Amino acid sequence: MAPIRILVVDDSIVIRKLLSDTLSGDRALEVVATASDGHIALAKIPQFKPDLITLDIEMPVMDGLETLAAVRKLYPKLPVIMFSTLTEHGATATLDALALGASDYATKPSNTGSPAVAIECIRAELIPKIKALCRTVAVKLMPLPGSRPALKVRIKSNPRIEIVAIGTSTGGPNALAEVLPRIPGDFPVPIVVVQHMPPIFTRLLAERLAGKSAIPVEEASAGAILEPGHAWIAPGNFHMKVMRAGLHSRLNLNQEPAENSCRPAVDVLFRSVALAYGANVLGVVMTGMGADGVLGAQDIRDAGGEIIIQDENSSVVWGMPGLVNASGLADAAYPLDQLALEITRRVLQSRASQSGAGLKSFTPLERAAK
């Protein structure tokens, strides 16, 4: 297989060399050209025909956002990964870039004091994203650890949905911007979200989504009581769990070890809602690379809850939802533009049917409390 051809765009000669040497050290990748500003980059694209661009944000002459806008007009499907600093300004600019059509982002190694550490950061964060965006990582049936076979057939009891849990990664900020603003203001249950992002990014993402949504959206805080029609996004570098005590639920944040190389991790959240709410859970797995969410989806399914996923065509990377599907854990798959409607329909239908019968499904913890 031919290597992935990469154009590195950055005004720092040190960063250009660091990226070029590190990326070219992987036999699946080839840096075919570099550029110090957007004008030079635009001239080199037709010359070198890269499969992907890494793009700095702060550059002279033509900055990253201007360059990205031009690239999207000329090459709408060319993958672009923003390479930005982990600062308030860098996070804001990165979210702007994602809204303009950037495929993903990676944070620049900073203050490491060691070239070896910087190289390892690039290998761990940037290279997997390049391969995922260029479709060199196939979605295969993943064997689940332990003696937990994939669940294929079950008898559904149509329980009353009491909470919606969403997990997403690559492409997630734009996907969430399509879903959460379409949730009605009188939505009757809480929504909890894990989006793989570092600190600062998650707060700014929550603020942006709140400005577009009919429901309140905020970065989660420890001890927050879950309320209907309200969404919480796990903060970067913290796992988020839902803890149930009687009829109340609170958010727990912790810095326990990463799972699936992620903190926050979707598996942690999904496992906690399955324990707290039993069958009364709707889990949603959206676009993202990696396997996070598969084991958590099985926890929800084993408890009697439902799992729906974003379909392949509308996903930036069909890693997370694709593996849930391949493991036999998805009840259904939907295009991104239909997810909000389907989430709302399932929640309202489950509650209407239970209300009409004069019944309510209680979780194990609720039954114990009674």
Catalytic residues: 169, 196, 292
Tell me whether the omega of the peptide bond preceding residue 264 falls within 30 degrees of 0, making it cis. Answer: yes
CA distances in angstroms from 82 to 260, 287, 332, listed in the order given: 23, 18, 32
CA distances in angstroms from 350 to 33, 330, 335, 341, listed in the order given: 55, 18, 21, 14
CA distances in angstroms from 130 to 2, 96, 133, listed in the order given: 14, 20, 5
State both tokens at 333.
Answer: 């798959």
Burial level of 370, CB count in 10 A (0-12/13-18/19+)? Answer: exposed
Q: Position 255: which residue type? A: Q
Distance CA 41, CA 34 (A): 7
Distance CA 144, CA 136 (A): 22
Distance CA 361, CA 280 (A): 7
DSSP 3-state of 47: helix
Distance CA 127, CA 263 (A): 19
Q: In this structure, what DSSP letter does residue 122 have?
A: I
